[in-house]
Amino acid sequence: QSNLNSNYTFGSFIEGDCNRLARSAGFAVANKPGITSFNPLMVYGGVGLGKTHLVQAIGNEIKNGPEEKFVLYVSSEKFVNQFMDGIKDGNIKSFTNFYMQVDVLIIDDIQFLAGKGRTQEMFFHIFNHLHQNKKQIIMTSDCAPKDLMGLEDRLLSRFKWGLTADLQMPDFETRIAIIRKKMQSEGIDIPDNVIEYLAYTVDTNVRELEGVMISLIAHASLSRVEISLELAKTIMKNIVKDIETEVSIEFIQKSCAEYYGIKLENLKAKTRKKEIVIARQVAMYFSKEFTNHSLKSIGYHFGGRDHSTVIHAVQAVNDLMETEVSFRNAVLEQKKQFKIRSY
Ligand code: ADP
Ligand code: MG
């Protein structure tokens, strides 16, 4: 009884820059549990970023491996409860013995031990016993070990013996791959523009991304309609509050200021510094392309400039795109974002 969910495998865990280190360390551990220098292996990251999936994938890989190993997955919450029950029933010994027999201990959401001194002490002993016997310990936490409040220093210092790796929110391309994989495993086809739209708009965590996909599929099948961009937008509006689906001049300005690393005010200011002029011209160019504002109104939003300035900006951007490849690529990359938003 190892409490592993067989769906959580390496095969279903999409790799990206966001998880590369954690994933490959996990894979190394899965192939040589207890004998790599990644002991303990500590995976941390925000909610819904794949911690449980990854550590269970390690567990499944070991369980299905050539050697017979006792792999145990336990949430810290359950660990605490079992310990409390042990105390209540005067049966701590069997609790300890059980954990000391494990070959691979996967303990999830270790932050839950915060402030629970006696459980931490017990865990400390189990940890030492397993580690001395070259048994593998794998942990997850919702924050970096240094930010784990309420955990004893001697425990925290043990965590540093091995490897700590974080999980980040997958980038756009990785989100697309995750959606594709998920849809493929469900045997459902959804149009590319819907996939792109979801990958673009849901940038909080993977669990939320999956939640939106599930609602989308459910709505489409209940109301017997095709999965479409319209439906996806309606569902997003219901699930995610104040999502911006319009491309406004303000949105373009914010995005360009960020992209070119300049202050937002400078887009409206008089300054004629080269980087600022370029960012401003690009923002005007996008405003012309993606909003219905007149040239006059666009000029007005950029510090009360004349409509001829806007015409000039659009021309300048077009010219520069023809002569400078890197500039052209930058504009096209940014454009992709606005396009998805304005579907
Ligand atoms: P956490 O434990 O960090 O809160 P989970 O492991 O429960 O997150 O992941 C939430 C959901 O997102 C799960 O259904 C998981 O399968 C999925 N998920 C997260 N990261 C990935 C990934 N890289 N590839 C595929 N699915 C992922
Ligand atoms: Mg989890």
Note the pLDDT tens digit of each residue in 50-75. 999 999 999 999 999 999 999 999 99
Q: How many CB atoms lie within 10 A of CB 262?
A: 18
> Is pLDDT at 240 greater than 80 in this prediction?
no
DSSP 3-state assignment of 108? strand
Query: Which pLDDT does position 335 carry in this prediction?
Result: 85
303: left (phi over 0), alpha (psi -120 to 50) or beta: left
pLDDT cut 70: percent of the chain above it: 97
Residue 246: pLDDT band with limits 50, 70, 90: low
In the chain, which residues fall in CATH 1.10.1750.10? 249-341
DSSP letters spanning 47-100: TTSSHHHHHHHHHHHHHTSSS---EEEEEHHHHHHHHHHHHHTT-HHHHHHHHH
Mean pLDDT, to the nearest integer, of 322-329? 92
Residue 244: pLDDT band with limits 50, 70, 90? low
Mutate to test the pocket of ligand 1, among 172, 206, 208 (most ligand atoms within 8 A of CB): 206
Domain 20-166 annotated CATH 3.90.550.10? no
Identify whether the C-beta of residue 167 lies closer than 8 Å to the C-beta of residue 51.
yes
Region 237-264 average pLDDT:
81
What is the whole-number distance in angstroms between the Cα of residue 180 and the centre of ligand 1? 14
Closest ligand to Cα 108: 2
Q: Boundaries of CATH 3.40.50.300 in the chain?
A: 20-166
Q: Which atom of ligand 1 is nearest to the CA of 13?
A: 24
Q: Where in the chain is the domain with CATH 1.10.8.60?
A: 172-239
Given a cut of 60, whether residue 188 has pLDDT beyond it is yes
- Closest C-alpha residue for ligand 1 atom 1: 48
**Minimum CA distance residue for ligand 1 atom 5:** 50
Q: What pLDDT shows up at residue 129? A: 97
The best mutation among 207, 212, 214 to test binding of ligand 1, ranked by most ligand atoms within 8 Å of the C-beta, falls on 207
- CB distance 49 to ligand 1 below 6 Å: yes
Q: What is the pLDDT of residues 130-152, one digit of tens each?
A: 999 999 999 999 999 988 989 99
- Count of CB atoms situated within 10 Å of the CB of 35: 11
Atom of ligand 1 nearest to the CA of 47: 4
List Cβ neighbours of 208 (8 Å cut-off, separation of 6 or more): 48, 202
128 pLDDT band, cuts 50/70/90, is very high
Whole-complex ipTM: 0.99
Of the pLDDT bands very low, low, confident and very high (cuts 50, 70, 90), residue 222 is confident
Indicate whether 343 pLDDT > 60: no
Q: What pLDDT does 4 receive?
A: 96
Q: What is the mean pLDDT of the chain?
A: 92
Give me the CATH topology for the region 172-239. Answer: Helicase, Ruva Protein; domain 3 (1.10.8)
Hey, what CATH topology would domain 249-341 get?
Chromosomal Replication Initiator Protein Dnaa; Chain: A; (1.10.1750)
